[in-house]
């Protein structure tokens, strides 16, 4: 089957955007399967659009389930030898990859901004964050150790091996197209797994760029494969990754609804699953909090990536004694600090929403709240004069349970602020959701800090801090926000099996 793949170098004209980058342009419009840069078997392509103005950036292969099977076969073939490499060798490969991504960090940031829309400063921060996972896992390689057990019988020796699971399938989102791949691939590759990456149809160029650098770093053919696909073919590609028995672990970052579908599709082959799903993060400002600190944290937590972040603050709860001050200072801070526009221009801090479907959802939620009596303090409108997908940073109060926005993960630049009076009341409201990814609260009462940290039903908590993600931390949620953890030393656990070995009849 793999012999059918025909590498096509430079098959499409070099775009003016890529000619401005130092990364090789003739690899950016092809998928990567078994060490070859290839078109789709069907020959079809689809456009990648710049969300700032909906202009086409590049065309990439519209791969389907057939291409995906080829990629899985390549990964399975490569796994037979890659699994036997030394931990030191895998560490050196990841270190080389990391060094190349640092060298090309500005190129990667420009590509990311073009296809995602976030500002260059945010893209640079993501690239630095994403690169750090490869650095981290390169250093963790020689610490994937087994265990020697104390045997219950004198003539036996018992030990545990940690061995790579096999082929890993990754389905990654558009909001962090660099970091969501490196966080998964770094852990899988360092454990000795090979992988097939299906990036979002909205942001495949970043995936192809970092895969190109992985190839330069020396990863063997088939260790990393990238399958690009349009929205039309995404379901078929995802289904192939879920049902193909050669894929032994699936890692997905996205919505809870899609995660449940993938969960069902993986059941027949009993795959290992790592699901990082939706959130509905509470952001609580207690009576003892420093209001200025809470406002600054709210800006970062709510409006980073124009609110399109799974750990974004989604439901603000502010103590009645600080409520008016917080709302006033928050609105003032939004007006002074946020500059919307083309993210490739250094003066702009925030870009557009990723696509029209996101804009329609935000418009619908805000309009419904307005019609049912909510107060819109700022924003609350589409800004077509800036671009087709820009939406004004918005603050809403007086939101009730009858409004659609009350219990929804907004995934946009809209902050809904509620008033509360006591700790028990706000904890009940904060936990009244089926998901539990992240949560935030501000307090200077040390007893309250310990109580609330234990009682909030989330997988990650920021206390007096609005930005909590880092390589060293275990990233993941509870309840319907997912299964497993990414990053930290625990991230490798998703890609290793524990094998028990018993040696009997030993003569002492």
Which CATH number characterizes residue 458's domain? 3.40.309.10
Label residue 23 by pLDDT band (50, 70, 90).
low
Q: What is the pLDDT of residue 508?
A: 81
According to DSSP, the residues that pair with 36 across neighbouring strands are 33
Query: 294 with 193, same domain?
Result: no
Query: 325 with 406, same domain?
Result: yes
Cβ pair 297, 442 in contact under 8 A: yes
Query: 257 with 395, same domain?
Result: no
Following DSSP, what letter does each residue of 434-457 receive, concatenated?
SEESEEEEE---HHHHHHHHHHS-
Query: 41 with 84, same domain?
Result: yes
**Residue 508 covered by a domain:** no
Three-state DSSP at 460 gives strand
Label residue 32 by pLDDT band (50, 70, 90).
very high
Q: What is the pLDDT of residue 17?
A: 42
Q: What is the pLDDT of residue 5?
A: 33
Distance CA 465, CA 442 (A): 8
Specify burial of residue 24 (Cβ count, 10 A radius: 0-12, 13-18, 19+).
middle
> Angle CA(490)–CA(210)–CA(240) in degrees, nearest 5?
70
Q: What is the pLDDT of residue 29?
A: 82
Q: What is the pLDDT of residue 502?
A: 97
Nearest to 237 by CA among 213, 211, 204, 194: 204
Which CATH number characterizes residue 492's domain? 3.40.605.10
**Residue 506 covered by a domain:** no
Three-state DSSP at 176 gives coil
The mean-pLDDT minimum among 10-24, 346-360, 413-427 falls in 10-24
**Average pLDDT in the 472-476 region?**
97
Residue 11 predicted with pLDDT over 50: no
Catalytic residue among 58, 140, 240, 276: 276
- What percent of the chain is predicted at pLDDT more than 90? 94
**Average pLDDT in the 229-243 region?**
97
**Average pLDDT in the 205-219 region?**
97
Query: 60 with 120, same domain?
Result: yes
Q: What is the pLDDT of residue 1?
A: 31
**Average pLDDT in the 177-185 region?**
98
**Residue 26 covered by a domain:** yes
**Residue 479 covered by a domain:** no
Label residue 341 by pLDDT band (50, 70, 90).
very high
Query: 300 with 413, same domain?
Result: yes
Q: What is the pLDDT of residue 13?
A: 32
Label residue 27 by pLDDT band (50, 70, 90).
low
Query: pLDDT digits over 183-206, tens only?
Result: 999 999 999 999 999 999 999 999
Specify burial of residue 139 (Cβ count, 10 A radius: 0-12, 13-18, 19+).
middle
Query: 273 with 286, same domain?
Result: no
Contacts of 58 (CB under 8 A, 6+ apart): 12, 15, 17, 18, 28, 29, 47, 48, 205
Query: 223 with 323, same domain?
Result: no
The verdict on whether 465 is a catalytic residue reads no
Cβ pair 339, 347 in contact under 8 A: yes
**Residue 236 covered by a domain:** yes
Q: What is the pLDDT of residue 28?
A: 56
Tally of domains in the chain: 2
Label residue 500 by pLDDT band (50, 70, 90).
very high
**Residue 503 covered by a domain:** no
**Average pLDDT in the 346-373 region?**
97
| Residue range(s) defining the domain that contains residue 371 | 281-471
Query: 368 with 390, same domain?
Result: yes
**Average pLDDT in the 19-34 region?**
66
Label residue 145 by pLDDT band (50, 70, 90).
very high
Query: pLDDT digits over 247-256, tens only?
Result: 999 999 999 9
Query: 118 with 192, same domain?
Result: yes
Label residue 16 by pLDDT band (50, 70, 90).
very low
User: Average pLDDT over the chain, rounded to whole?
Assistant: 94
b/e for 381-395, b at 16 or more Cβ within 10 A?
ebeeebbbbbbbbbb
Query: pLDDT digits over 77-109, tens only?
Result: 999 999 999 999 999 999 999 999 999 999 999
**Residue 504 covered by a domain:** no
* pTM exceeds 0.95: no
**Average pLDDT in the 49-67 region?**
97
**Average pLDDT in the 336-351 region?**
97
The full length of the chain comes to: 508
Following DSSP, what letter does each residue of 102-129 receive, concatenated?
HHTHHHHHHHHHHHH---HHHHHHHHHH
Cβ pair 457, 431 in contact under 8 A: yes
Q: What is the pLDDT of residue 2?
A: 33
Query: 356 with 232, same domain?
Result: no
Strands 194-198 and 167-171 turn out to be parallel
Query: 62 with 125, same domain?
Result: yes
Cα distances (angstroms) measured from residue 441 to each of 134, 265, 303, 337, 479: 31, 37, 17, 22, 20
**Residue 70 covered by a domain:** yes
């Amino acid at each position: 089957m793999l012999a059918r793949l025909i590498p096509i170098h430079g098959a499409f004209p070099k775009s003016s955007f890529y000619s401005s980058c130092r990364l090789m342009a003739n690899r950016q419009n092809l998928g990567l399967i078994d060490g070859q840069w290839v078109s789709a078997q069907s020959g079809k392509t689809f456009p990648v659009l710049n969300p700032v103005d909906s202009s086409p950036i590049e065309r990439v292969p519209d791969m389907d389930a057939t291409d995906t099977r080829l990629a899985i076969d390549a990964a399975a073939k490569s796994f037979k030898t890659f699994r036997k490499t030394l931990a030191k060798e895998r560490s050196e490969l990841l270190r080389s990859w990391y060094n190349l991504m640092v060298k090309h960090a500005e190129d990667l940031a420009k590509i990311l901004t073009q296809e995602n829309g976030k500002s260059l400063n945010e893209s640079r921060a993501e690239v630095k964050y994403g690169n750090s996972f490869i650095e981290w896992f390169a250093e963790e390689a020689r610490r994937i150790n087994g265990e020697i057990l104390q045997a219950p019988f004198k003539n036996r020796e018992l030990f545990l091996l940690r061995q790579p699971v096999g082929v890993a399938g990754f389905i990654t989102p558009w909001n962090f197209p660099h970091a969501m791949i490196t966080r998964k691939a770094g852990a899988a590759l360092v454990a000795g797994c090979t992988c097939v990456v299906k990036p979002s149809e909205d942001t495949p160029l970043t995936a192809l760029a970092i895969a190109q650098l992985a190839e330069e770093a020396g990863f063997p053919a088939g260790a990393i494969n990238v399958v690009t696909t349009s929205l039309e073919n995404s379901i078929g590609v995802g289904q192939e990754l879920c049902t193909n028995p050669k894929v032994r672990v699936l890692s997905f970052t996205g919505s809870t609804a899609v995660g449940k579908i993938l969960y069902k599709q993986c059941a027949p082959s009993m795959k290992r699953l790592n699901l990082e799903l939706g959130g509905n993060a509470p952001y609580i400002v207690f009576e003892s909090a420093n209001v200025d600190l809470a406002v600054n944290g709210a800006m970062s937590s709510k409006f980073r990536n124009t609110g399109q972040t799974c750990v974004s603050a989604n439901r603000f709860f502010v103590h009645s004694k600080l409520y008016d001050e917080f709302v006033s200072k928050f609105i003032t801070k939004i007006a002074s600090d946020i500059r919307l526009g083309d993210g490739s221009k250094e003066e702009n801090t925030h870009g557009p929403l990723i696509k029209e479907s996101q804009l329609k959802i935000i418009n619908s939620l805000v309009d419904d709240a307005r019609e049912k009596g909510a107060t819109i303090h700022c924003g609350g409108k589409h800004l077509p004069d800036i671009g087709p997908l820009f939406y004004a940073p918005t603050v809403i109060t007086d939101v009730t349970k009858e409004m659609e926005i009350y219990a929804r993960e907004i995934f946009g630049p809209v902050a809904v602020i509620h008033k509360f009076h006591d700790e028990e009341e706000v904890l009940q409201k904060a936990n009244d959701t089926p998901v539990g990814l992240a949560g935030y609260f501000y307090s200077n009462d040390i007893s309250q800090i310990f109580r609330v940290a234990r009682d909030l039903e989330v997988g990650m908590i920021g206390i007096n801090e609005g930005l909590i993600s880092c390589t060293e931390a275990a990233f993941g949620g509870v309840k319907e926000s997912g299964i497993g953890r990414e990053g930290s030393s625990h991230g490798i656990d998703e890609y290793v099996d524990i094998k028990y070995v018993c040696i009997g009849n030993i003569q002492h």
